[in-house]
Amino acid sequence: MDAAVEACDRIEVAVNGAGSVSAFFILMPTRDERLWTSLTVVFAFVTVLCVVRARRGWACLRALQSAGRTG
């Protein structure tokens, strides 16, 4: 069960990160400061890393679900 919890956490972090980056992209034109641009780039990079990790979580959840059906 611990693997399923970790997989769900990874997926949740990726979704929340994508939402945060989207919000920064929407707010960035209203701010002409380099800080906002820098934050957006950093959050986008971190979100890409989280999405890559979430893909492994999806694979883990699919494997656990298919193992439960055959047993």
- Report pLDDT digits (tens) over 26-46: 777 777 778 877 877 888 888
**pTM greater than 0.95 (yes/no):** no
Nearest to residue 46, comparing CAs of 9, 17, 15, 8? Answer: 17
Nearest to 11 by CA among 67, 71, 56, 68: 56
Cα separation, 30 vs 16, whole angstroms? 22
Measured on CA atoms in the order 47, 49, 52, 58, is the torsion positive or negative? Answer: negative
- Is the pLDDT confidence value at 17 over 70? yes
* Average pLDDT score over residue span 1-23: 79
**65 has a pLDDT exceeding 70:** yes
**pLDDT of amino acid 22:** 81
